[in-house]
Amino acid sequence: MELNTMKTDSFLKAIKYEFNGPDGIGDLDAIKAVRWSRKFRIVDLFAGIGGIRLGFEAVGGKGVFSSEWDTEAQDTYEANFGDRPFGDITKIAPEEIPDHDVLLGGFPCQPFSIIGTRKGFLDTRGTLFFSIEEILRVKQPPAILLENVKQFKTHDNGKTFATVIERLKELGYFTHTAILNALNYGVCQKRERTFIVGFRANINFTFPPPVADRPSLETILEPDEQIDAKLWASEMIQKKRLERLKSQGKEPFYPSIWHENKGGHIGIFPYSCALRANASYNYMLVNGNRRPTGREMLRFQGYPDSFMIVGNHAAIRKQAGNSVAVPVIEAIASQMIASLKSAKPVVKPVDQLYLF
């Protein structure tokens, strides 16, 4: 038991775990009223191409509403799920959103206003998070999952995160926050993101422990002879990357992903660095000589090969860079549904036991 407690403490520190919530146990009846063993209803906000939805569908979720403003992402979403997301979420009244059991949202990180501050927290009006607030206020789903960038907790000196957590607390949600790295959850990509899990009652919940296995680059990469000629870097770029790598005292190995950071340093890895929608065109090269294909980028995010690619390479590059790592979402969703099914209230939420 002492060893497990040490592992628990170490894991909680590693993922920067935080718990927040109102006084009392909360609305346990709202959770127990849902038959979680059946198709529970999910709302998918700021949906992108549906990575969060995929993770929740894998554990029994059924989409009843989605919202995404980017038309090319809407095309991909519709091709894969059969329904087209509503556009601008700020243009629909919360009352018009279908009733649902879990609200999902990878909302943008925006600064809040100092105008209209209350109790030391910032004003969320005029931001996209305010839309989430209003939907939660009207619909009061029993559970939520919000996703954001790793730096979300420190954005604006921590004021943005503190304000979001305070607003969720005022709405009756008990929140569990952590920073998880996709590389530790069966994904061939180093991608750290902030996740906020919320329940309307103070029930037992643990973030998923890391898994040992992940796909190798050999299973991700497509044969070079099948690669579009447009994806190959120029001979000059390939030569300069190799020269710079060796000047750093490193020898190339294959297969590998070569990553150039803003300072010009070249990193070489047996996995992908974080995909980014707006990065320079050649910031990441496969084996130092070409850019990844659309299918490879989706594989780096854990999408199945059955997921259809819609649009040109620039579109899927942007969509994959903005997406989530699906296996991470599925792992979190599995833990959430297990907690919702058991609905065991706790007094001290930090007294958690991780067995791994």
User: Residue 213 phi/psi, 5° resolution?
Assistant: -95, 150
Q: Is 132 inside a domain boundary?
A: yes
Q: Are residues 330 and 274 in the same domain?
A: no
Q: Which of 25, 28, 58, 109 is catalytic?
A: 109
Q: What is the pLDDT of residue 347?
A: 66
Res 274: pLDDT: 94
Whether 231 and 279 share a structural domain: yes
CATH assignment at residue 169: 3.40.50.150
The reported pLDDT for the residue numbered 124 is 55
| Residue 96 Cα to chain centre, angstroms | 26
CB atoms within 10 A of CB 2: 6
Is the same domain home to 199 and 336? yes
**Exposed e or buried b for every residue in 185-216, given b needs 16+ CB within 10 A?**
bbbbbbbbbbbbbbbbbbbbbbbbbbeeebbe
Q: Is the domain of 77 the same as that of 137? A: yes
Domain that holds residue 249: 223-292
Angle between the N-to-C axes of helices 71-81 and 313-322, in degrees from 0 to 180, rounded to the nearest 10: 80
Residue that is written with structure tokens 């992108």 in the block: 48
The answer on 139 and 86 residing in a single domain is yes
Domain assignment of residue 316, yes or no: no
Clarify whether residues 175 and 235 are in a common domain: no
Tell me, yes or no, whether 51 and 170 share the same domain.
Answer: yes
The predicted-structure confidence for 246-275, as pLDDT tens digits, reads as follows: 999 999 999 999 999 988 999 999 999 999
Structure confidence at residue 6 (pLDDT) = 60
By CB atoms closer than 10 A (0-12, 13-18, 19+), residue 321 is: middle
Q: How many separate domains does the chain show? A: 2
Instruction: List the chain residues with pLDDT less than 50.
Output: 1-3, 112-121, 349-356
Whether residue 146 sits in one domain with residue 6: yes
Any catalytic annotation for residue 109? yes
Both 208 and 152 in one domain: the answer is yes
Are residues 203 and 229 both part of a single domain?
no
Q: Is residue 251 part of a domain?
A: yes
